[in-house]
Amino acid sequence: MRSTLNPGELAEGRRMSADSKASEGIIPFGAGVKAGTNPEKQVAAWDGATADDKFKGIAMFSIEGDLDNGHYPDGVPTTVLRKGVIWVKLSDNASAVTAGDQVAIRNDNLFDKTPLTTGTSGSYGVELTNAEFKTAGQPGEVVKVEIDMPTATKVVQL
């Protein structure tokens, strides 16, 4: 087995479903993504900018992106996982997770478990109903997440 795991790579080869949209801005592989300015054609990295943002999935690792820097540049075709098991990175601000914990995405477009700690910062995270961690991990580590879209989401102020 490889010694490094890349966020955005499929973790298991079972049935998966993905959409293809144009990137709006830089989107890191394995990042949570939201609807872009043109929601039918674009996605952007989840940045917690507004409470109205709509979660769309997780950016998959792809040769369409910048492999050296681990992201999709602005304006390129972006593969967005909607159903499947994928490697993602826990936020440095995340809590430790265990297999079975429900998934949330913080305002840095990295992952945490639910419930997110709410506050009045003016930035937002999103909690996902049909997504769970498949492996345990500490803040900053790469872990497996299973996602099944569409899913109910709850945007919360951090």
pLDDT tens-digit readout, 88-136: 999 999 999 999 999 999 999 999 999 998 889 889 999 999 999 999 9
User: Exposed, middle or buried, 110 (CB in 10 Å: 0-12/13-18/19+)?
Assistant: buried
With cut-offs at 50, 70 and 90, classify the pLDDT of residue 11. Answer: confident
Contact assessment for residue 122 and residue 157, using Cβ atoms and an 8 Å cutoff: yes
In angstroms, rounded to a whole number, what is the distance separating the alpha carbons of residues 62 and 68?
A: 11
Domain boundaries, the chain: 17-157
Instruction: Give the β-pairing of 124-133 and 153-157.
Output: antiparallel
Tokens of 62: 């792809």
pLDDT for 151: 86
What are the angstrom distances between the C-alpha of 78 and each of 42, 64, 110, 143? 9, 7, 17, 21
Q: What percent of the chain has pLDDT over 70?
A: 97
pLDDT for 4: 62
pLDDT for 16: 87
CB atoms within 10 A of CB 39: 12
- Specify the higher pLDDT residue, 150 or 60: 60
pLDDT for 1: 41
